[in-house]
Chain A
Amino acid sequence: MTSPPARIPFEQWDRRYADLLAQGLHEPPYGGPLRRHLQAGDDRLAQLCYDNSPAALRLWNFLLTEGDRLRQARASGDLIVGTMKDLGTVPVMVYAMDHAVAFYPDGAWWTPCMMHASTCDLALAAAAGLDESFCPVRAMAGAFLSGRQFPRPDLLVCSAGATCDDFSAIAARLETLGYPIFWWEICARRHPEAAQGKPSEGEEAVALPGGGTAPRSQVQFVAGELERVRAQLESAAGQTLDDAVLARGIQAANEIRRRLAEICRLAFGSKICPLPALEMLIAQMLAIHFCSDRAQTLEVLTELLVEIRRRIAAGQGVLPPDAVRIYWVNPVADLRAMNLLEDCGGRLCGNDLMFAHATDEIPEDVPPLEALARCALADPMVGPADDRAARICREARALHAQAVIVSRIAGASHCAFEGGVISRRVGADLALPVLEIEVPSVSDALAPSLRTRIEALIETARRGAERSRT
């Protein structure tokens, strides 16, 4: 099982899997060859490149069997909560309870990529009035209507207020189609008011995970909203979700977040690249709702971490040592873009996938709902784009990024203006080249253009590095 680390195309995984079995590979119940997911309809898998480790195989198998786990949960009578939009906060509350799972129907936004637009539920979404002018997350509506991706949740909880209009519109449309939603309000994060001549009258600033601040009043407001969510969850589950139970849930979530932080520290910070960008993206996604199994998430991440450490100790990476270090902003609707970055000579050295608040540790020294409120307010999407840009700059600097790619999402309301704000800030603070691209769900038609632009960026970054050296 100690083959040299490599990125391998899909067709090589059959052989690799057979070799691993012959070498005594032990798999969890959701294990198996990748090909079965292709046969089940995840067409895009055939066009991707993968890390060749058993840890990566387990990661993919875990990701691609979430629907099975949700159906098992339904069969077992567990409470299934569809949490929408907040990306990372409400699931911590749900998993604190017994016999309850949370998942993000939002995650269906990758089905147009994985299953190709022609075979997924987009037609159903379009028939419901959510046409191609909307963000790919409209696939979520199709998934609800078809019932093919996941079982109908027992409860839907969605944040409203400082959210993307496209998502909010799609969720509201779902509600009119007969899927009741429990809404909770997330306010637009702002900076605490300064005192006007009287220092004692300034607003109290509360530190948020990730380094920002918010006024105490906003933290209290969001904590109050999460109190309403708590009451709703208790009612749906018939259980008490008191502070002690919540605190244990936060501790468990933090254990996962710490594990992920270590993976990111090593994968992004090492001289060699121990894990490809695509697997890093998937690993990070696990943090938001634990892929419907919190305990397994920890095991999957632990195995990845062991593999990463082993590779670093052996000095074995998956990319050439001179790969250009790229900081990537926003998740990509087409997973293949992560492969493309590496094919062009780049290497992921950090990213902001819109859910930094789901990977930062949740405070454990304040009451649990306040801690979760701080976490929700740290969401980069509920605050000013300039705050987000400032964090991107901090991380890109610390990770020695040589260039930044801002990947826009077609039809997403936040992308219209934030790209410019981020580009200007990165240019001003770091003097790094920045590339803005738009990646559709299936980017094959644009691949030549994307490749050219990414290659040009990497070339520019290389020249910049050479100039710095001389």
Chain B
Amino acid sequence: MSGRVLYSSPFVPPEWIEAHGQSPVRVLSLPTVAGAGVCPIAAGFAQAAGGGDDTIVVTTTCDQMRRASETIDGAGRVFLMNVPALWDNPASRQLYRRELLRLGRFLIGRGGRSPDPNSLIRTMIEHEDRRASQRAFLPVAPGAARVALVGGPLRLGDEWIVQMLESRGACLALDATETGQRTLPTPFDRARLDVDPVGELVRAYFDTIPDAFRRPLSMLHQYLSCALNQRGIQAIVLIRGIWCDLWHSQLSWLRQCGRPVAEVDLGGSASGAGCDAARIRTRIEALLEAIQ
């Protein structure tokens, strides 16, 4: 066993994995050509994570990802973590906590060790310190159009979309994608950390990360309303994997936010190349023309 634990969902706390003596690696999907109806993000993750003997943690936050986990070779090294959808239900919250503990047992079975509270707390603080820099918003050049990226995860190589925005005189003032600031857990409460570190993981991750799979949607919508206003966002790019209904269904709500919205879907072809890229570029350019 490699000791590496591959995951992609922001609801998997890397500090929990590390405290079990394993190395957490957040894997971005590989751009991949997927069949009709198949989410390229899910297929890309299965491709990126497959092979080898790494431990793989998949969550139930996305139906296609849940089902893609069954296609990864290597029974016994894939852990499907139930991340409940209801954020305002105490029983769901308890379930998330139990799933963290179950994940811990799984990691021990894969060669990890049971964390003592002190090392868990220390690891949590280290991760929290590292995240601090990610919370800071990027500086905005005077006069630059302030754009938000909202939606699912970006894949490996999709950074060209941000570079393209910047090359057209816009700036990324809010990254509310799954791989951006939206999914950072809230800072740990150091006082509570000593009392119940696992409970603090639950609070930081389960209680605060907004997402399109969570029910009711008011948590996500409150976050977006607040963030879009705070950051003075002028235009929104909704970015999603093709076939992603969870994010696609947010388009109407985003359009009601009083800002122009361009929806781009990440299809099956390689990032930054081919007709997918041309399509995305055209849409974003049209969006920027509308506000500049």
Per the 8 Å Cβ criterion, residues 21-37 of B in contact with A are: 35-37
Do A175 and B217 have beta carbons less than 8 Å apart? yes
Q: How far is the CB of A446 from chain B (nearest CB, A)?
A: 13
Chief secondary structure at chain A's binding surface? mixed
Do B249 and A417 have beta carbons less than 8 Å apart? no
25 A-B interface contacts by CB (under 8 A): A129-B249, A129-B251, A133-B248, A134-B249, A161-B84, A162-B63, A162-B66, A164-B63, A165-B244, A168-B85, A168-B213, A169-B249, A184-B86, A185-B85, A187-B60, A188-B82, A190-B80, A193-B102, A221-B91, A411-B245, A413-B63, A413-B67, A416-B67, A417-B67, A421-B67
Are A175 and B38 CB-contacts (below 8 A) given A190-B80, A416-B64?
no
Do B82 and A187 have beta carbons less than 8 Å apart? yes
Q: Which residues of A contact B84 (CB under 8 A)?
A: 161, 185, 187
Do B37 and A176 have beta carbons less than 8 Å apart? no
How many Å lie between the Cα of A254 and that of B35 in the bound state?
Answer: 41
Question: Is B127 at the interface (CB under 8 A from chain A)?
Answer: no
5 closest pairs, A vs B, by CB? A129-B252, A169-B249, A417-B67, A413-B63, A160-B85
Q: Which residues of B contact A413 (CB under 8 A)?
A: 39, 63-64, 67, 243, 245
Do A417 and B95 have beta carbons less than 8 Å apart? no
How many Å lie between the Cα of A420 and that of B37 in the bound state?
Answer: 13
Q: Which residues of B contact A165 (CB under 8 A)?
A: 62-64, 213, 244-246
Do A169 and B82 have beta carbons less than 8 Å apart? no
Do B89 and A185 have beta carbons less than 8 Å apart? yes
Contact code string A130-159 (vs B, CB < 8 Å = 1, else 0): 100111000000000000000000000000
Do A185 and B243 have beta carbons less than 8 Å apart? no
Q: Which residues of A contact B91 (CB under 8 A)?
A: 185, 221, 224-225, 228
Beta-carbon nearest neighbor of A133 in chain B: B248
Do B86 and A183 have beta carbons less than 8 Å apart? yes
Beta-carbon nearest neighbor of B86 in chain A: A185
Q: How far is the CB of A241 from chain B (nearest CB, A)?
A: 19
Contact code string B62-83 (vs A, CB < 8 Å = 1, else 0): 1110111011000000001010
Question: Is B259 at the interface (CB under 8 A from chain A)?
Answer: no
How many Å lie between the Cα of A164 and that of B248 in the bound state?
Answer: 14
How many Å lie between the Cα of A186 and that of B6 in the bound state?
Answer: 26
Do B246 and A161 have beta carbons less than 8 Å apart? no
Pick from B39, B60, B70, B251: contact of A162, CB below 8 A: B60
Do A169 and B246 have beta carbons less than 8 Å apart? yes
Q: How far is the CB of B253 from chain A (nearest CB, A)?
A: 6
Q: How far is the CB of B77 from chain A (nearest CB, A)?
A: 15
Q: By the criterion of a CB under 8 Å from any partner CB, how many residues of chain B are at the interface?
A: 44
Q: How far is the CB of A189 from chain B (nearest CB, A)?
A: 10
Beta-carbon nearest neighbor of A417 in chain B: B67
Question: Is B283 at the interface (CB under 8 A from chain A)?
Answer: no
Question: Is B131 at the interface (CB under 8 A from chain A)?
Answer: no
Q: How far is the CB of B108 from chain A (nearest CB, A)?
A: 8
Question: Is B216 at the interface (CB under 8 A from chain A)?
Answer: yes
Question: Is A232 at the interface (CB under 8 A from chain B)?
Answer: no
Per the 8 Å Cβ criterion, residues 158-211 of B in contact with A are: none
13 extra A-B contacts, CB within 8 A, seeds A410-B37, A413-B63: A160-B215, A162-B82, A165-B63, A168-B213, A170-B245, A175-B217, A184-B86, A185-B92, A193-B102, A217-B98, A385-B67, A413-B67, A416-B39
Per the 8 Å Cβ criterion, residues 331-354 of A in contact with B are: none
How many Å lie between the Cα of A168 and that of B42 in the bound state?
Answer: 18
The A-B contact count (CB < 8 A) is 134
Do A168 and B248 have beta carbons less than 8 Å apart? no
How many Å lie between the Cα of A162 and that of B86 in the bound state?
Answer: 11
Question: Is B109 at the interface (CB under 8 A from chain A)?
Answer: yes
Q: Which residues of B contact A412 (CB under 8 A)?
A: 37
How many Å lie between the Cα of A10 and that of B86 in the bound state?
Answer: 47
How many Å lie between the Cα of A415 and that of B36 in the bound state?
Answer: 10
Do B37 and A415 have beta carbons less than 8 Å apart? yes
How many Å lie between the Cα of A133 and that of B242 in the bound state?
Answer: 9
How many Å lie between the Cα of A169 and that of B214 in the bound state?
Answer: 10
Do A168 and B216 have beta carbons less than 8 Å apart? no
Q: Which residues of B contact A166 (CB under 8 A)?
A: 245
Question: Is A89 at the interface (CB under 8 A from chain B)?
Answer: no
Do B70 and A385 have beta carbons less than 8 Å apart? yes
Do A169 and B248 have beta carbons less than 8 Å apart? yes
Interface centre among A128, A166, A170, A417 (most CB of B within 10 A): A417
Q: Which residues of B contact A421 (CB under 8 A)?
A: 67, 70-71
Q: How far is the CB of A410 from chain B (nearest CB, A)?
A: 7
Question: Is B122 at the interface (CB under 8 A from chain A)?
Answer: no
Question: Is B279 at the interface (CB under 8 A from chain A)?
Answer: no
Beta-carbon nearest neighbor of A418 in chain B: B67
Question: Is B105 at the interface (CB under 8 A from chain A)?
Answer: yes
How many Å lie between the Cα of A166 and that of B221 in the bound state?
Answer: 19
Q: Which residues of A contact B217 (CB under 8 A)?
A: 172, 175-176
Pick from A134, A184, A420: contact of B71, CB below 8 A: A420
Interface centre among B60, B64, B67, B249 (most CB of A within 10 A): B249
Beta-carbon nearest neighbor of A215 in chain B: B102
How many Å lie between the Cα of A416 and that of B84 in the bound state?
Answer: 22
Do A161 and B85 have beta carbons less than 8 Å apart? yes
Q: How far is the CB of B168 from chain A (nearest CB, A)?
A: 27
Q: Which residues of A contact B67 (CB under 8 A)?
A: 385, 413-414, 416-418, 421
Do A185 and B95 have beta carbons less than 8 Å apart? yes
Beta-carbon nearest neighbor of B105 in chain A: A193
Per the 8 Å Cβ criterion, residues 191-226 of A in contact with B are: 193, 196, 217, 221, 224-225
Do B249 and A183 have beta carbons less than 8 Å apart? no
How many Å lie between the Cα of A175 and that of B252 in the bound state?
Answer: 13
How many Å lie between the Cα of A244 and that of B104 in the bound state?
Answer: 41
Do B37 and A411 have beta carbons less than 8 Å apart? yes
Beta-carbon nearest neighbor of B37 in chain A: A416
Pick from A193, A386, A438: contact of B70, CB below 8 A: A386
How many Å lie between the Cα of A183 and that of B92 in the bound state?
Answer: 11
Pick from B64, B89, B216: contact of A417, CB below 8 A: B64
Q: How far is the CB of B186 from chain A (nearest CB, A)?
A: 22
Q: Which residues of B contact A133 (CB under 8 A)?
A: 243, 245, 248
Question: Is A163 at the interface (CB under 8 A from chain B)?
Answer: yes
